[in-house]
Amino acid sequence: MSPAGARGLVALLLLFAVATARGLPLAPSEVQVLVGERTSLPADDDPSWQPAQAPDARVTPVAWYRVAFDAPASAVDQGWMLYLPYLYGGGQLWLNAQPVTVVLESRADLRVRWERPLLLPLPQAALRPGRNVLHLRAVSAGEPGIVFFPALKVGSQAELQGAFDRRFFVVRTLPQVTLVAGVVVGLLVVSIWWRRRQEVQYGLFGLAAILWALRTTTFIFDLLPAPLWPLWRMLYYASTGGFIAAMALFTASLTGRFDRRLAWALAGYVLLGPLLYGLGGERGDALVGRWWVLGLVPVGVSVAVFSFTAAWRERTPGNALIAATVALATLAGVHDYLLASGSTALASRLPEWSGDRIFLLHHAANLMLLVMGLLLSARFVHSLQAVEHANETLEARVAEREREIATSYERIAALQREQAVQDERQRMVQDLHDGLGSQLFSSLMRAERGALDSAAAAVTLRGAIDEMRVAIEALTPDDRDFRTAFGNFRFRWDQRLRDAGLEPSWRVDLPDAPLVLSPDLALQVLRVVQEALTNVLKHARATEVQVGLSHRAGELELDVIDNGAGPAAATQGGRGLANMRTRAARLGGRLQVEFGRPGARVVLAVPLRAT
């Protein structure tokens, strides 16, 4: 990492951290260090004292620092304080050889790692105007056995409180927020994945969020019972590696390059770290902390390279955002690694910044989670819209199909109606041809050879007119209700029979509902009745005639009863009877003729289903 890049990163990411590094009230005028185990405060003339800088880092379990500063006369009255940005392993503090305070160190039954900054009041009695000397015992927090000595500051509370609060917010409050938010969001997203297993991204993102929340506990618990320490350390490694791996897979998945083998390989590497630590103990810790963590860096870098390529190939805002965030997180990861391993490369180039020891990956990861969450919710909304669109399309297609079906049904129905009309017309033409036509033609022939006198011609023509009338009666009713047609028929014949001196009576026994018959059937039925009545008029010499119409059990029954000559009339009306039988047969019905003394009874029964 270039110094310029590091500076850019600093400027971009953590403006608040800058505030902690400037405007400090009073820096030490002189710093000395004594490396080595001493149970009590080393003497000032101990030859092991060497000059040093603040901040400082030493590979040793314990180091003593002697710090001189000049206090103004007002300092004693103001009540000065000492600000320590960090003191990871704890230790002890003296002012002018008087003990000030003890910060807990790790013991056999307790592990400490103080992430929080310390703001300690300096006792008024010990502080004096002019030169003062502070002695600080600093202990390594364990792995990798390095003592970190901060750039401590002394001053009034008013001058120091702000810096302390800012650092406290960054190293303590923010992680607490991250822990809660990460667990809540992670569980929500994982529950989505639980119901929709094919959406791997949700699973990976939720896993990453939860792992990150677990990792964040590192910054929250300052004190831990010793037996839990290894477990917690393993959890730390597993969650750190797991988070990076999950994010890598998530990025791959977002850009459509998710690979199951890659997932297994990464999962294997992630589990390797905690496993090594668990097997190797303290030695394993050093190994894992230095080398296993280093192995995670190429994972992050390759993800960055990969997402940059994707963003380059397909320039969508989403891809660009992923690439930028991943790059940022990778840089932060490298920075943290250098910082944690006490690398001189960073310390020599950015002494002030590295002395503050602000770990960045933590915040970069928060940003990354935020960006990924945004992208995921955008995808979620997009897929909802896609579903809505698909539904609309589907509905439109269904409606279209319904219209098509309705149209073709209409067409079929129209064709069927047309066919029915054709059939009906055909039957009627045939009927006109056979009935009225042949009647008129035979009369014409007879008239032409002089065999038709005027009386016979009148009979023939009246017959023809009757034919036409009955046809009009059968075809006229708009409603096709046979009751109307029969009523019109009756209306005409009643008058005619009365005019001929007969006493007609009509008996109609039909249900109230309209009786719909095809025009052809109606015509044939009326013709049979007309023929029967004509016979009565012409031959029967009757005085009364009874016409009955009834409908029951699917049959239409018509009867004509007269009180005339009976069988004697039948011989003359033979032709008419034959006609009536033919018509009845055509309708699938039957005609019965009974003769009494006197009178005759003609019964026509027609099944209505047969038409």
Partner 1 sequence: MSTRVLIVEDEPEFLRRFSEAVTADPALHLLAAVSTGRAGRALLEAEPVDVMLVDLGLPDMDGTELIRHAVQRHPGCDCLVVTMFADDAHVMAALEAGATGYLLKDATNERITGAVHEVRAGGSPISPSIARRVLARFRSSPAAASTPPAAAVVATSAVPSPLSQRETEILQSIAKGFSFETVGEVLGISQHTVVAHVKNIYRKLAVHSRGEAVYEASQMGLL
Q: How many CB atoms lie within 10 A of CB 256?
A: 8
Site string for partner 1, 21-40 (x = CB under 8 A): --------------------
Residue 230 as a binder of partner 1 (CB under 8 A): the answer is: no
Give the CA count within 13 Å in the CB-facing half-sphere of 434. 10
Using CA atoms in the order 417, 422, 423, 428, what is the torsion angle rounded to 10 degrees? 130
User: Of 508, 578, 585, 610, which lies in the binding site for partner 1, with binding defined by CB under 8 A?
Assistant: 508
- Strands 544-552, 503-509: pairing is parallel
Residues 6+ apart with CB under 8 A from 362: 174, 175, 178, 216, 219, 336
Residue among 204, 577, 239, 173 nearest 372 (CA): 204
- Using CB under 8 A, which of the segments 15-23, 57-65, 218-226, 488-496 binds partner 1? 488-496
Please report how close the Cβ of residue 597 comes to partner 1 at its closest, in angstroms.
29
Please report how close the Cβ of residue 498 comes to partner 1 at its closest, in angstroms.
10
Residue 463 as a binder of partner 1 (CB under 8 A): the answer is: no
DSSP state of 118: E
Alpha helices in 14-153 (DSSP H): 15-20, 74-78
Residue 469 as a binder of partner 1 (CB under 8 A): the answer is: yes
- Strands 118-121, 30-35: pairing is unpaired
- Using CB under 8 A, which of the segments 129-137, 209-217, 323-331, 485-493 binds partner 1? 485-493
Find out whether 88 and 113 touch, Cβ atoms under 8 Å: yes
3-class SS of residue 26 = strand
- Using CB under 8 A, which of the segments 33-41, 182-190, 204-212, 483-491 binds partner 1? 483-491
DSSP state of 175: H
- Give the N- to C-terminal CA distance of the chain in Å, as an integer: 99
Residue 291 as a binder of partner 1 (CB under 8 A): the answer is: no
User: Of 477, 564, 573, 599, which lies in the binding site for partner 1, with binding defined by CB under 8 A?
Assistant: 477
Residue 493 as a binder of partner 1 (CB under 8 A): the answer is: no
**Crossing angle of the two packed helices 438-448 and 454-475, in degrees rounded to 10:** 170
Tell me the two tokens of residue 185. 């969001």
User: Of 113, 357, 490, 527, which lies in the binding site for partner 1, with binding defined by CB under 8 A?
Assistant: 490
Residue 538 as a binder of partner 1 (CB under 8 A): the answer is: no
Please report how close the Cβ of residue 488 comes to partner 1 at its closest, in angstroms.
5
Site string for partner 1, 65-84 (x = CB under 8 A): --------------------
Number of chain positions touching partner 1 (CB under 8 A): 23
User: Of 55, 376, 486, 556, which lies in the binding site for partner 1, with binding defined by CB under 8 A?
Assistant: 486
Residue 462 as a binder of partner 1 (CB under 8 A): the answer is: yes
Find out whether 328 and 13 touch, Cβ atoms under 8 Å: yes
DSSP state of 61: S
CB nearer partner 1, residue 496 or residue 581: 496
Please report how close the Cβ of residue 413 comes to partner 1 at its closest, in angstroms.
27
Residue 476 as a binder of partner 1 (CB under 8 A): the answer is: yes
Single-letter amino acid code for the residue at 502: L
Site string for partner 1, 421-460 (x = CB under 8 A): ----------------------------------------
CB nearer partner 1, residue 309 or residue 546: 546
CB nearer partner 1, residue 21 or residue 447: 447
C-alpha 489: how far from chain center: 72
How far is residue 154's CA from residue 452's CA, in Å, rounded to a whole number?
151
Stretch 300-319 residues interacting with partner 1 (CB under 8 A): none
Residue 321 phi, psi (nearest 5): -65, -45
Q: How many CB atoms lie within 10 A of CB 408?
A: 10
User: Of 180, 231, 378, 465, which lies in the binding site for partner 1, with binding defined by CB under 8 A?
Assistant: 465
- Using CB under 8 A, which of the segments 86-94, 424-432, 487-495, 593-601 binds partner 1? 487-495
Q: How many CB atoms lie within 10 A of CB 492?
A: 15
Residue 483 as a binder of partner 1 (CB under 8 A): the answer is: yes
Site residues for partner 1 per CB under 8 A: 462, 465, 468-469, 472, 476-477, 479, 483-488, 490-492, 494-495, 499, 506, 508, 510
